[in-house]
Chain A
Amino acid sequence: MSFDVPDERRYLESHEWALETDGVVRVGISDFAQDELGDVVFVELPDEGDDLEQETEFGVVESIKAVSDLYAPVGGEVVAINDDLFDAPELVNEDPFGEGWMLEIEADDPDELEALLTAEEYEDQIA
């Protein structure tokens, strides 16, 4: 089975993706992660305005069979959360890199992203 790993994003070993636009980093989980979890039924996200540190927990995604912590790819303030996921958590399965995004962080230091896996490195990890 092969999974989407879009090139322009960075990845955590714990399967979150990060996409930076003008200092704001959008975060979600990878196609591989959603497939491993199976049907996502619940997502717990921080509040807007919360401060996160890189690689600390920011929430939880639950499928029918598993609970998985979510880790921030970059430190900063939460400036948006995808509250569509509260009523439609299945978006994480259906469109993990698009409609299934989870939150946006205004990065304290966008260079932190450089420490994360490239698409190629992440692809090797899940191979």
Chain B
Amino acid sequence: MPLQTPPLRGIHDERGAKFTEFGGWDMPVEFDSIQTEHAAVREDVGIFDVSHMGQIHVTGPDATELMQRLTSNDVSRLEVGDSQYAAITDDDGIVIDDTVVYRLPDEGETPQESHGDGDADGEPTYLFVPNAGTDEATHERWLSYRNEWDLEATVDNRTDEYAMFAVQGPNAVDLVASVTADPVDDLERFEARYATIDGVDCWTARTGYTGEDGFELIVPWADAAEIWTALDCQPCGLGARDTLRIEAGLLLAGQDFDPEDNPRTPYEAGIGFTVALETEFVGRDALAAVDAAGVDERLVGFQLIDRGVPRHGYDITTTESRVIGTVTSGTMSPTLEKPIGLGYVPVEYAEPGTTLQVVVRGQSKKARVETTPFIDTV
């Protein structure tokens, strides 16, 4: 199957980016160097092209119920311009995907009318962002449950209609504010509104995947180049995106959880805060049981004390070399200049300060459980 290409592949190529396959997309992995890009985001501002992320649009009289019953969080709490992080779980409470659900202005309102807070007087409308390569399966899932439950909602896969950029870093707010007349600095974390940049309405959300302040902008594919160019700052690839999110202790779908290879509940994965048991959703009953019984294993952060770099798939052992878990993500932290990682271990080994070992190419390296995030985050 040919790779999907983001709208700005040519621009990135001219800028000298290296590319990698990710979730079926041909994405820039590195523009200058991971350390340079990582430092820009921690100290200044950087921009990522994350157009590989999916966009699914849901609207209609029953849109809220459909979203509520297919995501773990409480969608009914969202007013127009709010968003929330949520898990998409199966009947057993296993995380299939994680996503951010945005409540858009009600259908029927134009973006101009909705530059304010917007009145929720039309059809409730949501946009949510499944991970790269999962948009088609997620779209199918929504359609199939909508039909099964006989709900009135339109579900569109708009992944190929929208580009998505993340502008992240301590100076991200100033940069975005400098290119739009709309207020953006008054948005709280997880709030969003349309902001006009170069005449284009961009869904501008104070969200991100780096641990820094900043925005994610969902922009029409056709206008992507103008917006990218207007937001003139250090371009960053998926390499820096990965080191930044590991430092922030954030999960990568397909790696820190995977419904096939590493099935985990939100509680094991450390995202129990996304589970609203008082709502009705697929997986809710299974998760209520897990919540009552407690988990046997959970995701922890750790730092290698010995020299080496932990990588996905390496064994985690006790100090007596008994295998008790697996590294799901690891890197040399550019900020801390220490090797850090994430992995699942039995809860009795999950306390910060616990000494473990990670097996790097046959050699046991001493490691210590750390609290996450590894760095100060917004």
Contacts and interface: CB of A to CB of B under 8 A. Distances in A.
Nearest to A40: B332
Interface in B291-343: 307-309, 311, 331-332, 334, 339
The B interface, classified by DSSP as helix, strand, loop or mixed, is: mixed
Interface in A26-49: 38-39, 41-42
Interface string B20-53: 0000000001100111000000000000000000
B360 to A, nearest CB: 9
Contacts of B308: 42
Contacts of B35: 39, 64
A38 B332 contact: no
A3 interface: no
Contact of B34 (A42, A62, A65, A86): A65
Interface in A1-20: 1
Given A1-B16, A62-B309, A42 B332 contact: yes
A62 B360 CA distance: 12
Interface residues of A, number: 13
Contacts, number: 36
B305 to A, nearest CB: 14
B22 to A, nearest CB: 12
A115 interface: no
A60 interface: yes
A39 B29 CA distance: 13
B196 interface: no
A64 B334 contact: yes
Contact of A67 (B239, B307, B311, B339): B311
Interface string B336-378: 0001000000000000000000000100000000000000000
B223 to A, nearest CB: 30
B243 interface: yes
Which 10 A-B pairs rank lowest in CB-CB distance, beginning with the nearest?
A41-B332, A39-B35, A64-B34, A62-B309, A42-B309, A65-B239, A39-B33, A39-B34, A38-B34, A64-B332
Interface of B: 16, 29-30, 33-35, 239, 242-243, 307-309, 311, 331-332, 334, 339, 361
20 contacts: A38-B30, A38-B34, A39-B34, A39-B35, A39-B334, A41-B332, A42-B308, A42-B309, A60-B361, A62-B309, A62-B332, A64-B34, A64-B35, A64-B331, A64-B332, A64-B334, A65-B239, A67-B309, A67-B311, A93-B33
